[in-house]
Amino acid sequence: MKKVTKAIIPAAGLGTRMLPISHAVPKEALPIVDLPAISYLVREAVESGITDILIVTGRDKDAIEDFFDYSPEYDAALLGKGRTKEVDRLHELADMANLYFIRQKTAKGLGHAVGRARSFVGDEPFAVLYGDDLVFSKTPVCRQMIDAYEKYGRAVVGVKPVTPEQLSKYCSLKVEPIAGSENAYFCDDMIEKPKKGQEYSNLSILGRVLLEPSIFDVIEQLEPGAGGEIQLTDAMAEVARTRGVTALEFEGTRYDLGSKLGWMMANVTRAAEHEEIGEEFRAFLKDFCEKLK
Ligand code: UTP
């Protein structure tokens, strides 16, 4: 079995749920306290053993690429004041991984965005971290996915139980428990944005999948699905029906950064434990909550 060392982060979506701000700042570059959201994903991948990451971007998404570059102006200004630690931190963020960028020229859907990565991936298995899904976990969730891939030897989708309302917006998986495991299921079908009565289970894919390169042939044959987009779920459903995939209920809390509520929740969570402002922010939050009563 080939080692998983590559990942894709699709970040070319329009982010219409985050308008008006996404019109000026890519949602994947919005701050979680003092770091752009996407840097958390890059770190998660790196801490999982990934060395090469392709970020799929689009027009008006330059802020993402710029963040991972050196900035001689900031370096000079900070060094002039002896703030070397901050310069080291900026460089450490820029050098976390071998980063590659490709544009998806039209936002035709997540499946289409992943399809842009074919030549980057070659004949290796690869992880996909959806660019607006943040997970805070004890073990990086991408690592949990790789462990499941190495254990069961087939594609893995990261899942969680969701509410009926979320299920109709995400997807629903047909699963059976895998004997001896508490959080892994065998999945042999799935449906994107199921209508009432079409649901298989309350398990939905949330932001992380690990795929084999054979998926690209399937993606290239896809017709537009739900919402008129090329849906990654439709390609993964085909893989599930022919080979089966592992559905892994991962450990960790997931935040939908493509929604205003999810973005705020992630910020409050991170701010409350932040090394610089955590203590004061928690005090503020306690006081704020008291006044809500
Ligand atoms: P979403 O469906 O959440 O993104 O895709 P969206 O289309 O930007 O959302 P709304 O509904 O308009 O608010 C999940 C991830 O896939 C990327 C997005 O950038 C996001 O990180 N994506 C989506 C692409 O890269 N290309 C696409 O065509 C669609």
Q: What is the pLDDT of residues 4-18, one digit of tens each?
A: 999 999 999 999 999
Listed in sequence order, the residues at least 6 apart from 21 whose beta carbon sits closer than 8 Å to its beta carbon are: 27, 30
pLDDT band at residue 266 under the 50/70/90 scheme: very high
Q: What is the mean pLDDT of residues 151-167?
A: 96
Q: Is 278 exposed, middle or buried (0-12, 13-18, 19+ CB in 10 A)?
A: middle
> What's the confidence (pLDDT) of residue 80?
96
Give first-to-last CA distance, the chain, whole Å.
56
Domain annotation for the chain: domains and CATH numbers: 6-258 (3.90.550.10)
At residue 43 the predicted structure's pLDDT band, cuts being 50, 70 and 90, is very high
Position in ligand 1 atom list of the atom nearest CA 132:
21
Mutate to test the pocket of ligand 1, among 18, 55, 132 (most ligand atoms within 8 A of CB): 132
pLDDT band at 64 (very low <50, low <70, confident <90, very high): very high
For the segment 223-260, what is each residue's pLDDT rounded down to a tens digit? 999 889 999 999 999 999 999 999 999 999 999 999 99
* Beta-bridge partners for 255: 134
Give the angle 64-65-70 at the CA atoms, nearest 5°: 120
- Give the global pTM: 0.96
Q: What is the pLDDT of residues 93-150, one digit of tens each?
A: 999 999 999 999 999 999 999 999 999 999 999 999 999 999 999 999 999 999 999 9
Share of the chain above pLDDT 90, in %: 98
**Ligand 1 pocket, residues with Cβ under 6 angstroms:** 10-17, 28, 56, 104, 107-110, 112-113, 130-132, 258
Pocket test for ligand 1, best of 27, 110, 116 (most atoms within 8 A of CB): 110
How high is the pLDDT of residue 293? 79
pLDDT range class, residue 1, cuts 50, 70, 90: confident
Q: What is the mean pLDDT of the chain?
A: 96
Nearest CA among 118, 2, 5, 4 for reference residue 56: 118
Angstrom CA distances, 140 to 40, 144, 169, 201, 208, stand at: 10, 7, 26, 26, 11
The fraction of the chain above a pLDDT of 70, given in percent, is: 100
**Ligand 1 mutation target, pool 8, 14, 55, most atoms within 8 A of CB:** 14
Tokens of 110: 């997540």
From atom 14 of ligand 1, which residue's Cα is the shortest distance away? 130
Q: Is residue 194 reached through a cis peptide bond, with omega within 30 degrees of 0 on the bond before it?
A: no
pLDDT, tens digit, 9 for 90 and up, residues 202-219 = 999 999 999 999 999 999
The residue whose CA is least distant from atom 1 of ligand 1 is 13
DSSP string, 122-141: TTS-EEEE-TTEEEE-SS-H
**Region of residue 160 (phi > 0: left; psi between -120 and 50: alpha; otherwise: beta):** beta
Owner of token pair 């509520």: 261
Closest to 260 measured CA to CA, from 249, 252, 251, 268 = 268
Distance 143 CA to ligand 1 centre (A): 23
Give the span between the Cα atoms of 281 and 90, in whole angstroms: 24
